[in-house]
Chain A
Amino acid sequence: DSGVTQTPKHLITATGQRVTLRCSPRSGDLSVYWYQQSLDQGLQFLIQYYNGEERAKGNILERFSAQQFPDLHSELNLSSLELGDSALYFCASTLGVMNTEAFFGQGTRLTVV
């Protein structure tokens, strides 16, 4: 158990809908990263938050947004969902900005039908 908790584990929704994925980092970790894993794109970095502030942005679509709350949990919001958004979404956390190791949650498997 990495100590990073993601909910829900599975999500099935229809095209055009909006969903929210939640991540609780390891106790004491200030940075949260979101990654998307799909068969065609592999593992791709989406966005990073550090202590409530956006720190880095990757290949995140405009339809997607995220935030990190004062208690350090993070949410990834996906809207106007398309079939191609079906993927495994991972959250990872590190102690600080200058990490040496990231710990990954179990992921949320999103299926858009």
Chain B
Amino acid sequence: ELKVEQNPLFLSMQEGKNYTIYCNYSTTSDRLYWYRQDPGKSLESLFVLLSNGAVKQEGRLMASLDTKARLSTLHITAAVHDLSATYFCAVDLGLNTGNQFYFGTGTSLTVIP
């Protein structure tokens, strides 16, 4: 079964600082997704990464995918309080498995003023 691990599980960082969240997965896949979830809310799509070496940026967030290492990173630049949320990575194995997501454990990010 596909395992998806994120670290850290909890992250407290000061405004203005940089940090990286890591997502490792156990089975070959070139399809990785990042979602954001605010407490008690739904999951909001952040990035869709569909090939080795894919890099996408939106505002202070940048995501990358290394399929050989089975690793994706979500880099936060100059954090602001509004980025406080839980971030999930998710992997799917493609058509044969129905494209369902295997989610990581989530990283709960708190940005402190």
Contacts and interface: CB of A to CB of B under 8 A. Distances in A.
Given A2-B42, A43-B88, A104-B43, A98 B99 contact: yes
Nearest to B92: A99
A101 B33 contact: yes
B13 to A, nearest CB: 23
Given A2-B42, A107-B42, A100 B102 contact: no
Interface size class of A (residues with CB under 8 A): 20 to 34
Contacts of A92: 43
Interface of A: 2, 31, 33, 35, 42-45, 48, 50, 55-56, 58, 90, 92, 94, 97-107, 109
Interface of B: 33, 35, 40-45, 48, 50, 88, 90, 92, 94-95, 97-103, 105-106
